[in-house]
Amino acid sequence: MRDYKFRQSNLSFREPKRTGYKRLLRIAVLVFVVGALYGFVQLGLSWYRASEAPEASRDGIPLPLPPHAEPAGDTRPVSSDPGSPAEAPIDRVFTGKEKVLQSEVQAESTTRSNTARLSNGYGTWIEHEVEPGDTLSKIFEDNDLSPQLLERILGSGKEANLLKTIRPEERIRIHLDRERQFSELHLQLDELRSVKFTATNKGIKGTEIRKETQTKAAMASGVIEHSLFASAGKKGIPDPIIMQLAKIFGWDIDFALEIRPGDRFAVIYEELWADGKQVGADGIIAAEFVNQGRAHRAVRFKDSRGKTDYYSPDGMPLRKTFFRTPVEFTRISSGFSNRRWHPVLKRWRAHKGVDYAAPSGTPIIATGDGRVEFRGRKRGYGRIVEIRHNSKYKTVYGHMSRFARGLSKGDQVKQGEVIGYVGQSGLATGPHLHYEFQVNGVQRNPLTVKAPMAEPLPREDLEKFRKIASPLLASLEQTASDTMVADTR
């Protein structure tokens, strides 16, 4: 009986020891499991941060690199100038989707939605997209940059002239070093051109940068439905090429008055490519325009003197000495007449010119090369410019609202150069241009006078021109034929 009690007590004495051991073992296992899980979580976070690190290009958006660093991936320096910081491409755009996880690189928003900052251990990049009304002085002021710095940049050389006329949608990028001292400024002019200003020991140096481009020939054709711009635009022809097409044939066709539905066009032009994408158009190689059943053809050719122009298939120049119209007008408000009722003077009198109605401020161009013989006010003409082209020809432009900046008596002007702007100065009831064309001092009707031709191709260039023109004209004919077949289906 005693033995039993002893054993019973002995058992009851040993039981607590076994229970404590098991608890310790459970705690140890739990600690090990928690530690292992924590380690796996830290490993996963480290891998995630590494995959999101900004020093490598991600989603095609590389970050600027420090001056001594090598660019990663496809990031290339804009310039190979010694000492120039390697950086992201000029066409890099900061967006709200951008995430920077490292603490040493921070994106800072400014007071303007079209400005972004990116700071790292090597300095700060400021990027600003130009909006209407922006000026360089305002951009510098908004980003706490001194007017003295702007003055130094603008006085750095001829490249600074590109900064004086900044336009909406251009992009300006400014780099400041760790001490917030100016390092570089980039202005993206278009997809092909940019200008860079770099701080050096000798001052600020400006450099214009152009991307390397390749040209590819493209062909297009179409039929006029309502207007040349609308019909050509549907065929994917760039606006500059459409404008050039109208200019080439503008000597013989009045695109404001003579275009009809059913007129046809075909054009071979050069596309500009850079970095694997089309970035513009370089010019027309050959073109055809059929206006009211009459075909007009043009081929570009550079003669032995280095002069490039457009010629008809037989080698005659399309360019005349004078443009047919000096302004983009909405309508002809008064034609050339020997007897017209004057709306201001209220009496019958001759009208020795053509009045082109157009919105006030519309640019007026010189219809031919010449010298400014008079610039100022003259009786009922109001503000007027008279251009002497030679001893035989003279043109007159009246009722201007203002003259072109810097235009003075005695200046030489080129054909197509802006000389003033439409207004209603003098005796005028509404904004329009009064245009006169004088031959030997006598006014002639600008709409019907036969403009003199430019010089024909020299005889030694004619054979070379024909060899170049023959395959181009054949391609134009085939392109136009394909368009006619397509339109009849």
Q: From 208, 173, 207, select the one nearest 193 (Cα to Cα).
A: 208
Instruction: Give the mean model confidence (pLDDT) for residues 9-24.
Output: 55
Q: Are strands 382-388 and 337-341 parallel, antiparallel or unpaired?
A: unpaired
Of 47-51, 76-80, 210-214, which gets the smallest average pLDDT?
Answer: 76-80
Give the mean pLDDT of the chain. Answer: 77
Determine the Cα angle at 318 with ends 315 and 323, to 5°: 160
Instruction: Give the mean model confidence (pLDDT) for residues 208-234.
Output: 88
Q: Which class for 177: exposed (0-12), middle (13-18), buried (19 or more C-beta within 10 A)?
A: middle
**pLDDT tens by residue, 151-204:** 888 888 888 888 877 888 788 889 988 888 898 998 888 778 888 999 888 888
CA distances in angstroms from 403 to 75, 77, 246, 357, 455, listed in the order given: 48, 45, 26, 18, 31
> In the sheet where 264-274 sits, what is the strand order?
214-223, 264-274, 277-291, 294-302, 308-311
Residue 67 has pLDDT above 90, yes or no: no
Of 106-110, 397-401, 427-431, 435-439, which gets the smallest average pLDDT?
Answer: 106-110
CA distances in angstroms from 404 to 324, 328, 378, 449, listed in the order given: 21, 16, 17, 27
Residue 400 pLDDT: 94
In contact, 311 and 318? CB cutoff 8 Å: yes
Percent of the chain predicted with pLDDT > 70? 76
Report the predicted TM-score, pTM, of the whole model to 2 decimal places.
0.51
Distance CA 489, CA 485 (A): 7
Q: Which residue has the higher pLDDT, 245 or 170?
A: 245
Residue 413 pLDDT: 93
Judged by DSSP in three states, 209 sits in: strand
Determine the Cα angle at 83 with ends 154 and 114, to 5°: 50
Residue 404 has pLDDT above 60, yes or no: yes
Distance CA 451, CA 438 (A): 11
pLDDT band at 18 (very low <50, low <70, confident <90, very high): low
Distance CA 262, CA 227 (A): 10
Residue 391 pLDDT: 84
Q: Which class for 488: exposed (0-12), middle (13-18), buried (19 or more C-beta within 10 A)?
A: exposed
Domains in the chain (CATH in brackets) are 106-210 (3.10.450.350), 214-319+458-488 (3.10.450.350), 331-444 (2.70.70.10)
Instruction: Give the mean model confidence (pLDDT) for residues 352-380.
Output: 90
Instruction: Give the mean model confidence (pLDDT) for residues 370-380.
Output: 91
Residue 269 has pLDDT above 60, yes or no: yes
Phi then psi dihedrals of residue 341, to 5 deg: -75, 115
Count how many residues are written for the chain: 489
**pLDDT tens by residue, 287-313:** 999 999 999 999 999 998 888 999 999
pLDDT band at 70 (very low <50, low <70, confident <90, very high): very low
E strand map for 342-409: 348-351, 354-357, 363-365, 370-378, 382-388, 393-403
DSSP 34: H
Which DSSP string do the residues of 246-286 spell out, in sequence order? HHHSTTT--TTTS--TT-EEEEEEEEEEETTEEEEEEEEEE
Judged by DSSP in three states, 340 sits in: strand
Q: Which class for 55: exposed (0-12), middle (13-18), buried (19 or more C-beta within 10 A)?
A: middle
pLDDT band at 46 (very low <50, low <70, confident <90, very high): low
Exposure b/e, 133-170, CB count within 10 A at least 16 = b: ebebeebbeebebeeebbebbbebeebbebbeebeeeb
In contact, 242 and 194? CB cutoff 8 Å: no
Q: Which residue has the tokens 């005659």?
A: 316
